[in-house]
Structure 1
Amino acid sequence: MVKVLSPGFYSTIQDIGRFGYQEYGVPYSGVMDLNATTLVNMLLGNDKNDSVVEMTMTGAKLQFSIKTAIVISGADMSPMINGNSIQLNKIVAINPNDILSFGKLNTGFRSYLGVLGGFNTETVMHSKSMYKSITKSFMLAANDKLQITEVLSNHNKKHASIRFDTSYVSSKDLVVFKGPEFDMLSNEQQKALFNKSYTISKNNNRMAYQIEEVVQNNLKPIITSAVLPGTVQLTPSGKLIVLMRDCQTTGGYPRVLQLEKSSISILAQKFTSKTIQFKLKAQI
């Protein structure tokens, strides 16, 4: 078992997402940074869909009551075991009563904690991903108790040599495809999307990231249509909104771009005042 001594700013249980229920208005949810979660579960030898703790901006403080192994990836929040620093992207053995805590945020914005076998928490609609009104809790709280599987022998570290490029955490480039309404834009509008950097506004969360700069817009709203995590909408005021994992399933703003899946992970590691640049993926 893992006891939550302090949840940090915003910590949730997430897996790769809740699929097959979008026609009922249920968001995909799931981890914001799939790159980090993939690495965590690969190093531990877990299933790719085993759940992790996603921590935003500040880390949680957790006490383990049993023996296990952990991996932390994504943002560098200065993780420590019993006050001693530990490395990211490495398997760390955990003993009963060990306390995991975090310090200064050095890089990125979201950090991911995986345990051997994943967290055995509530499953709703084939997913453990927390979401308000879907799961009993939508974020971790102090004194929560998370069930995990005890390690009965030394964990085999054969996965510890996996090579994985973590430079995406600091990358500014978001690879995109043309959205369904992209060709409705003028040539000037299209060029504006790719010829300058854009700034993350203070309005950023698991539902969507808004951009500070305005793109001149004279497009009419569209008939309400399907949207996905990574869809870039252009509002009547010229604001760009990049939908994220907890986004709605339909929308009425023109869908001018669509982020490549790996670019959602890049954006998930950005916060207010950080800059990004859209890069159109070459068509084959």
Structure 2
Amino acid sequence: MVEVLNSGFYSTIQDFGRVGVQNYGVPHSGVLDRYAASMANILLGNDENAAVIEMTMTGAKLQFNCSTLICLSGANMSPKLNNLFIENNKVFKVHKHDVLSFVKLESGFRSYLAVLGGFQTETIMGSKSMYKGITAKYDLRKGDVLDVLTCSLTNTEHHARLKIDNFYLKTSVMAVFKGPEFNLLSNEQQDKLFSNSFTISKENNRMAYQLKEPLENNLKPIITSAVLPGTVQLTPSGKLIVLMRDCQTTGGYPRVLQLKEYAIDVLAQKFTGNMLNFSLKL
């Protein structure tokens, strides 16, 4: 088992989310940065969909009450195992009473902790992803105890490591496709979408990222229609909203762009004040 000594700013259990239940109004949910979570799981030999802890801005403090293997990926939060610094994207042994902690955020915004076999928490509608109103808990709190698989580390050596190109943590370019209502925009509006830079506002979370700079808008609201993680909506006030994994399943604002899957990973590692640009992919 793993005990949460300190949950950090906002930590949750996530996998790849819920599929096939959006017709009931249930969000996809799941890890915001699939690339990072997949890398941590793959290095451990897990299914890439195995449940991980997603930590936002600051890391949690966790005590292991069994022996297992762990791997971190995504944001660099200066992780320490028993007060010794460890690296991302490398497998480490942990023993009973070992403590994992984090010092400060060095790059990125969200870090992912994978354990051998994945976190063994409750499965609801085919997923372990925490979401308010769906799972009993929607984030981790001090005192929570998480089940994990126990393994014997006797006479085992694990050198699994992967050199990952962290360019995606630094780039500001978001690859997008045209959204269903893109062609309703004027040529001038379309040009501004791709020539202007946009700033991430303080209104950013697992549901959506709002951008500061408005885009002049004269489009009428649409009939409520399906939206997806990565959909970029344009509000009547001209505000651009980029939907993320916990977004609603329908909306009435024009859907002017759609982020590529990889671009959602990129955006998940950005925070308030960061700049971004949209790049159209044909």
2: CA distance, partners of 1:245 / 1:172 = 19
Equivalent residue number for residue 122 of structure 2? 122
Residues 155 and 8 from structure 1, CA distance in 2 versus in 1: closer, same or farther, beyond 3 angstroms?
Answer: farther
2: CA distance, partners of 1:170 / 1:7 = 26
CA deviation map 1:53-96 (0-9, x unaligned): 00001100000011111111111111001111000111111111
Whichever residue aligns with residue 249 of structure 1, its letter is T
* Kept after mapping to 2: 8 A contact 1:2/1:63: yes
**Residue 244 of structure 2 corresponds to residue 248 of structure 1:** no
CA deviation map 1:210-245 (0-9, x unaligned): 000000100000000000000000000000000000
**Residue 54 of structure 2 corresponds to residue 54 of structure 1:** yes
Equivalent residue number for residue 12 of structure 2? 12
Whichever residue aligns with residue 42 of structure 2, its letter is M
Equivalent residue number for residue 262 of structure 1? 262
Query: What is the alpha-carbon root mean square deviation over aligned residues?
Result: 1.1
CA deviation map 1:141-162 (0-9, x unaligned): 111000000112455647x244
Equivalent residue number for residue 196 of structure 2? 196
* Kept after mapping to 1: 8 A contact 2:206/2:245: yes
Equivalent residue number for residue 179 of structure 1? 179
Q: Mean Cα displacement is larger for which, 164-173 or 44-53? A: 164-173
Equivalent residue number for residue 105 of structure 2? 105
2: CA distance, partners of 1:196 / 1:238 = 14
TM-superposed CA distance for 1:49, in Å, is 1.0
Equivalent residue number for residue 137 of structure 1? 137
Following TM superposition, the consecutive aligned residue runs of length 4 or more in structure 1 with deviations greater than 4 angstroms are none
Residues 156 and 21 from structure 1, CA distance in 2 versus in 1: closer, same or farther, beyond 3 angstroms?
Answer: farther
Equivalent residue number for residue 237 of structure 2? 237
Q: Mean Cα displacement is larger for which, 146-155 or 92-101? A: 146-155
Q: Counterparts in 2 of 1:25-36, with a 5 A limit?
A: 25-36=25-36
TM-superposed CA distance for 1:165, in Å, is 2.2
Equivalent residue number for residue 22 of structure 1? 22
CA deviation map 1:93-137 (0-9, x unaligned): 111100000011111110000001000001100100000010000
Equivalent residue number for residue 169 of structure 1? 169
Residues 161 and 64 from structure 1, CA distance in 2 versus in 1: closer, same or farther, beyond 3 angstroms?
Answer: closer
TM-superposed CA distance for 1:253, in Å, is 0.2
2: CA distance, partners of 1:144 / 1:197 = 41
2: CA distance, partners of 1:45 / 1:90 = 12
TM-superposed CA distance for 1:254, in Å, is 0.2
DSSP 3-state at the match of 1:54: strand
Identity over the aligned pairs, expressed in percent?
62
Whichever residue aligns with residue 2 of structure 1, its letter is V
2: CA distance, partners of 1:196 / 1:114 = 38
2: CA distance, partners of 1:163 / 1:79 = 17
Whichever residue aligns with residue 259 of structure 2, its letter is L
* Kept after mapping to 2: 8 A contact 1:69/1:155: no
1: CA distance, partners of 2:215 / 2:273 = 18
Residues 256 and 156 from structure 1, CA distance in 2 versus in 1: closer, same or farther, beyond 3 angstroms?
Answer: farther
TM-superposed CA distance for 1:275, in Å, is 0.5
**Residue 277 of structure 2 corresponds to residue 277 of structure 1:** yes
Whichever residue aligns with residue 113 of structure 1, its letter is L
Whichever residue aligns with residue 259 of structure 1, its letter is L
Equivalent residue number for residue 148 of structure 1? 148
2: CA distance, partners of 1:91 / 1:35 = 17
2: CA distance, partners of 1:73 / 1:82 = 19
2: CA distance, partners of 1:92 / 1:172 = 32
* Kept after mapping to 1: 8 A contact 2:89/2:161: no
DSSP 3-state at the match of 1:214: coil
TM-superposed CA distance for 1:164, in Å, is 3.3
Whichever residue aligns with residue 206 of structure 1, its letter is R
TM-superposed CA distance for 1:171, in Å, is 1.2
Whichever residue aligns with residue 18 of structure 1, its letter is R
